Amino acid sequence: MDSELRQSQRPSDANPSRAAQPRPHICILGGGFGGLYTAVYLQKFRATRRDRVKITLIDRDQQFLFTPLLYELITHELQTWEIAPFYQQLLAHTSVQFCQDSVQGVNLQARRVDLEQGQSLSYDYLVVATGSQTRYVDIPGLKEYGLPFRTLVDAERLKLRLHELELRSQPKTSILIIGAGPSGVELACKLADQLGRRAQITLADRGSQILEPFSDSLRRAASRALTRRGVEVLLQTSAEQIEANRTQLKTGDRQFWYPADLLLWTAGTQLRPWVGYSPISQSEQGQFLTRPTLQLQGHPEVFVVGDVATVQSRRGGPAPNTAQAAYQAADRVAENLNAAITGKKLKPFHYAHLGDMLTLGIGSAVVDSSLGLTLTGKLAAIARRGVYTFRLPTWRHRLKVVRHLLRSGLRQIWRWRR
């Protein structure tokens, strides 16, 4: 263990105000896959129990969001409570205190977090997990007319907009989705199944293929699903200008107006900027430079997890910005926090890719495992649902969701029999 960390294990020596604190305080900024899962995984250790440490999780929202299942809200396959449980409920039986507020600034020297509503919290250990947000590029009309798809509010807004469009007398709604990454493809398939002949769905991307970083087998399955659902795919095509009912697209040298009652923007994601008062070392992409143990460079008492962390994968190269990478890293951050508190050696983290799963419409999916096995269709949808249910943040919540699933299954069987 290095001397820098030893210092961080005696934070009260450095600051008399903390000397009065009986228990070390772990402050977690952001309650997504990185932050919430760190808080939950900390419950495994004796040294991080209620009587030994104080853990505070801060998030500006009151609900966690299991983003991989956000599409199922649009098609009513799942209900909001299943994928967006309240932090207070999730953490009710743990040693974690939830604080709904927005982090305004972090003072790394004073080890203090300032919150929007005026409160300041001093910490002994800090976990930064503030994640990513939608990136709007400089396309005229994008902010006014483009709907993003990242948050619960975005999903509610999309449902409302679809409902308004359904009430019109026009027989067909045209929906243009910009960005043929996973969000664009999954949304296109779900909307096609949900709206059927009542909508024409188009997916545009400036790249030369859909789902650029994914495997060929997954890409082929997604292409087949899009074709089967009549989704038009425009590649090497970029949006130039957006108006209320049409979007100007550009393919090569050709510019043309495309009718679009609804424009969905799934092409841009950016990391949330560092909220500290003093600068920290960041990569070109804006990720906070960490050691292999996920400690912030120069600040061993600060751990970084999720999209904002620089993480190496087992195969070499950087880990992707995914929930899968975030919850794996959260497990290691919890373990390393326990090690730091108990004076043990911290371990490095390497991301292990387990595979990819995409929904390809109602009751359909593709699962591409790291073992080279690809499943498609209903079986893949069941496997995806099973894996994601198992990945929900706590056992209590998982059981609640499974109980609900069983009850609605039984109710359906009962209806069929009558």
255 is an interface residue for ligand FAD by CB under 6 A: no
Per CB under 6 A, the list member of 11, 35, 300, 393 interacting with ligand FAD is 35
* 61, 232, 240, 243: residue in contact with ligand FAD (rule CB under 6 A): 61
CA dist 38 and 43 (Å) reads: 9
Residue number, 30 or 276, with CB nearest to ligand FAD:
30
The answer to whether 368 contacts ligand FAD (rule: CB under 6 A) is no
CA 333/CA 392 separation, integer angstroms: 18
58 lies in the site for ligand FAD, by CB under 6 A: yes
Cα angle 244, 72, 200; round to 5: 40
300, 316 Cβ separation under 8 angstroms? no
Span from 86-94, 160-168, 257-265, 319-327 in contact with ligand FAD (CB under 6 A):
319-327
Stretch that binds ligand FAD, among 63-71, 89-97, 160-168, 397-405 (CB under 6 A): 63-71
Taking the least distance from each CB to ligand FAD, the nearer of 180 and 249 is: 180
Contact between 34 and ligand FAD per CB under 6 A: yes
| Sheet with 232-234: strands ordered across | 146-148, 262-265, 173-178, 199-204, 232-234
> For the CA atoms of 70, 74, 75, 78, what is the dihedral angle to 10 degrees?
50
Residues 84 and 66 sit within 8 Å (Cβ to Cβ):
yes
Q: Which is nearer to ligand FAD, 33 or 123 (CB)?
A: 33
Taking CB under 6 A as the criterion, the residue among 24, 30, 85, 268 binding ligand FAD is 30
Alpha helices in 67-135 (DSSP H): 71-74, 80-83, 87-90
Among 48, 321, 374, 394, binds ligand FAD (CB under 6 A): 321
248: contact with ligand FAD by CB under 6 A: no
Given the structure tokens 């460079």, which residue do they identify?
297
In the list 183, 200, 287, 290, the residue contacting ligand FAD (rule: CB under 6 A) is: 183
Per CB under 6 A, contacts with ligand FAD among 187-226 are: none
Tokens of 168: 């019109």
> Is the CB of residue 55 less than 8 Å from the CB of residue 40?
no
What is the closest distance, in whole angstroms, from the C-beta atom of residue 96 to ligand FAD in the complex? Answer: 15
Distance (Å) of CA 257 to CA 161, 232, 243, 254, 269: 22, 15, 10, 10, 25
Q: Which of 131, 146, 184, 268 binds ligand FAD (CB under 6 A)?
A: 131
- Chain residues binding ligand FAD by CB under 6 A are 30-35, 58-61, 67-68, 70, 102-103, 129-132, 149-150, 183, 272, 275, 306-307, 321-324, 326
